[in-house]
Structure 1
Amino acid sequence: MWILKKVLAMLLLMNITVKFTEISTFYSLNLNNKNTTNIAVLLYKFDPFMSSLKQSLEAIQKDNSDKIKFTFFDGKNNIALQNETIDSISKNDFDLILANLADTSENFVEDIIFNVRSKNLPIVFLDIDPKVVYKVSKYYDKAAFILANSDLAGTVQGKILVNLWNSNKSSLDKNNDNTLQYVLLHGQAKDPVTIDRTKYAISTISNSGINTEQLALVNANWLKSLSKDSIESLFLRYDGRIEAIISNNDAMAIGAVEALQKYGYNKGEKSKNIAIVGIDGLPEAKSLIDKGFMAGTVIQDPKVLAEVFYNVGMNLVNNLSPIENTNYNVVDGEIIVPFPYEEYIKK
């Protein structure tokens, strides 16, 4: 009997110890979750610029390892996939969503807002059309919208070609008709960034007094591969008439370089060169510019965007105004990313 009582006592002690450990672990996990802000980052695609943005956010996490944790989701430029991902994120233990969407239409953005609102989950959107923001922003006070100043990016890009025309016109106007014949490589058709970069790049050139003629507009959807295939075809179609290629981003500009190099162009020989300008300031684009294979790019530092994403998001998590303790400007309901757009050309 004494032995049985001893065994029962030991079992009881073990059970109490296990329960105590479980409770301690539970409270420990809750404490960690409480102290750490779990942030879901949904990017429309891991293209070169978005990959750089991811690296910049990871650097912020490294500096705040005891405060935040980013989890990244690749939207693969697939609307259905992004919708499923948003739904999954809203059901899990996240405190904030940072979202760059494949579909920025009013209905899609509205659906996402209603989804996260039901979970009281803050969200920060990137590059939504101001007309859409005007309609959907009233639905949820924990949704914020940030937008790149694409007007300025397009203007700086246009100035690169204006300066090249004014300093070395013969390098551009190869047929001596006093008109710049160009091909435009377009991002996503309804993306406000695409629209503004295009509008201001072309208007800057035209307003400087240079005559322009658009030979073709290619909807390459920000993609290097689509750009490369399109320029290979257009080069043959226009048989030497293309004098410049204006690209909404560097990835498409790099694709254009590779396409032209297939025909022996843009390899360093001045007589066989077409001026190509991009936007982003990607390292690969800078290297091509240094070699004389591209005319220039506009630097758009992903670190700046990462900081805005993070600062605005954390303000929402802490129930503050999205621009609390910042110097960000708000235009038409959107927080403007303060990129210090600078040209990058061969020195």
Structure 2
Amino acid sequence: MRRRIKSCCSPSCRPPAGRRGLPVLLAALVLLSGCGGRKDDSLRIGTALYTQDDTFISTVAQNLEWMVREAESGTGNKITLFTADGKSSQSTQMDQVDRFLARGCDVLFVNLVDRTAAAVIADKAEAEGVPLIFFNRQPVAEDIQRWERIYYVGADARESGELQGKLVLDAWRADRETLDRSGDGILQYVMLEGEPGHQDSLLRTEYAVKAVTDGGVEVEKLANETANWNRAQAAARTAQWLEEFGEGIEVIFANNDDMALGAIDALADTPRDRWPLIVGVDATAPALEAVAAGQLYGTVHNDGRGQAQAMMDLALALWEGEEPAVELVEGHYIWLPYRAVTRENLEEFLEQ
């Protein structure tokens, strides 16, 4: 028999649609005020984000809010979802995890600030018997395997790099004369990288270039620089490169869409007849708009809605003591595929 799940948050406290940031504000207020004590028949989920400023992570958080509403309407149960913004501070995030556990959350969703902190969080969750679902930022395998109820939901960063590189390779093959501005048969590129040491940044950087060279194209790296997934930092880096290399830049690789949009901002501030080809990763709404406008050649769809759905399905199954309906690879992992996005298939993603 299914247990009826109650919420301490009334329908009137749910944020209006389209009001970005209110879900986190709401959660912060609930965390501070509490709900008047633990209710044994209420499913409480604590969600710790590395930063709400990341466009993709913000999208996942919004999708989780929608998934909660869908689960409530579909089952008649009520679910309380707390969300906390780590603001890129691991110590802040650790305090938030402690608070979730102290308040009796039944499941934790954690988007790590620092993947090396996974073991500490895993041990805290195991000590309280609370299932732990990491997402988007993958801990090392040893930390995932510390306990049978630790999971990871995300996508293979290597695949996203390969698809990004294939976008550039296809563009080169389709119109080499336009892309090869120097006419030397070599593709000159710059690379906007995410956080230093972050596995997504490392893998996307490596495999994007590898896909191009495996396709028989000789490349020359003009520059690479960390921009920490951040649009403003990427704009500053690109502006510097434009001054240094000018028309010599033929392709700008960006490890995510926010940085690709930063490159576009820099180019828009320095009008020129021809732009380099720019590619990103995530397929965020602003990036899809840039693809439609012809500013961003392409991006790679990171399924934020699919990740949120998988996390909710897994959390509900764990709460009910049922076998998860989603496929668990090696008993711990749920992998979602990436997909390349260009103007040719853009409508499909805009509809989503």
TM-score (norm. length: structure 1)? 0.82
CA 237–346 in structure 1, closer or farther in 2 if over 3 Å, else same: farther
Answer whether contact 1:292 1:346 (CA < 8 A) is retained.
Answer: no
> What does 1:78-157 align with in structure 2 at a 5 Å threshold?
78-105=89-116, 108-129=117-138, 132-133=140-141, 135-157=142-164
Displacement of 1:128 in angstroms is: 4.9
Paired residue type of 1:160: L
- Aligned mates of 1:199, 1:88 — CA distance in 2: 38
Residue aligned with 1:189, SS: coil
Q: Does residue 39 of the first structure (1) align with residue 45 of the second (2)?
A: yes
Displacement of 1:137 in angstroms is: 3.3
CA 223–125 in structure 1, closer or farther in 2 if over 3 Å, else same: same
Q: Aligned residue for 1:285?
A: 287
Paired residue type of 2:65: E
- The answer for unaligned runs of 5 or more in structure 1 is 1-28, 266-270
Q: Aligned residue for 2:14?
A: none
Deviations, residues 135-194 of structure 1 (Å, cap 9, x unaligned): 223432221123312222222211111111111112211001111111111112222222
Answer whether contact 2:190 2:223 (CA < 8 A) is retained.
Answer: yes
RMSD (CA atoms):
2.1
Answer whether contact 1:281 1:344 (CA < 8 A) is retained.
Answer: no
- Aligned mates of 2:342, 2:79 — CA distance in 1: 34
Paired residue type of 1:294: L
Paired residue type of 1:278: G
Answer whether contact 2:287 2:299 (CA < 8 A) is retained.
Answer: yes
- Aligned mates of 1:311, 1:187 — CA distance in 2: 30
What is the aligned residue count?
A: 305
Answer whether contact 2:138 2:152 (CA < 8 A) is retained.
Answer: no
- Aligned mates of 1:320, 1:44 — CA distance in 2: 30
CA 79–180 in structure 1, closer or farther in 2 if over 3 Å, else same: same
- Aligned mates of 1:109, 1:49 — CA distance in 2: 21
Residue aligned with 1:240, SS: helix
- The answer for unaligned runs of 5 or more in structure 2 is 1-35, 346-352
Answer whether contact 2:257 2:281 (CA < 8 A) is retained.
Answer: yes
- Aligned mates of 1:182, 1:346 — CA distance in 2: 24
Displacement of 1:275 in angstroms is: 0.6
The one of 213, 216, 233 equivalent to 2:220 is: 213
Deviations, residues 234-270 of structure 1 (Å, cap 9, x unaligned): 11112321111011110000000001111114xxxxx
Deviations, residues 205-262 of structure 1 (Å, cap 9, x unaligned): 1110111111111111111111111111111112321111011110000000001111
- Aligned mates of 1:215, 1:329 — CA distance in 2: 42
Displacement of 1:340 in angstroms is: 4.7
- Aligned mates of 1:205, 1:224 — CA distance in 2: 25
Q: Aligned residue for 1:61?
A: 68
CA 320–247 in structure 1, closer or farther in 2 if over 3 Å, else same: same
Residue aligned with 2:342, SS: strand
TM-score (norm. length: structure 2)? 0.81
Answer whether contact 2:300 2:338 (CA < 8 A) is retained.
Answer: no
Displacement of 1:127 in angstroms is: 4.2
Displacement of 1:346 in angstroms is: 5.7
Specify the structure having the higher radius of gyration (Cα): 1
